[in-house]
Amino acid sequence: MNNAVLKYLIISGLLVGAILGIIAGVPYIGGIALFSTLFLCAPVVMVLLIMAGKFDLTTTKDSIVGGAAVGFCANIAFSFSYSIVNAILFLTIKYTTNYVLTAIIMNSPIWLLILIVFFIGVLTATTNAFSGFVTYYVINLIRDLYEKKHYE
């Protein structure tokens, strides 16, 4: 995997994570946005980049490394944007989607928040690496079925 492809994956992961972090401020959609960040960012980004012609899954290593990079960056952007949206909503209209998270964001020292985000980022990288791995096999299965059907 070259640096240009990795750059596309990281920028796309940051963008998807920031969008999901902003959406997570909505009460019932927040859980879906968190689940999407934990498990679905890598497949979505990989499929979109494959469709755009910027990325090609040739090996399992590419899928695992790409999924981990997308997952970690998506978590960083999700955490940052969600914290800002949550703090703004709490300070302006006294609204929060989760009192515990709001208390942690508002009262914890910054080093503790960075540590928590980093450890959750490792978890997100691991789960997205696995979902990227599954994406590789699903895409290859679809390619094989397409080639088998059109070969005859």
> The whole model's pTM is what?
0.88
Q: DSSP H helical segments within 27-59, as ranges?
A: 30-35, 41-52
Contacts of 80 (CB under 8 A, 6+ apart): 18, 21, 117
Q: How far apart are CA 90 and CA 87, in angstroms?
A: 5
Per-residue model confidence as pLDDT tens digits over 89-129: 888 998 887 788 788 888 889 899 899 999 999 999 999 99
- Cα of 141 vs its chain's centroid, Å: 24
Print the domain residue range for 110.
3-151
- What is the total count of domains within the chain? 1
- Average pLDDT of the chain to the nearest whole number: 90
pLDDT given for residue 117 in this prediction: 92
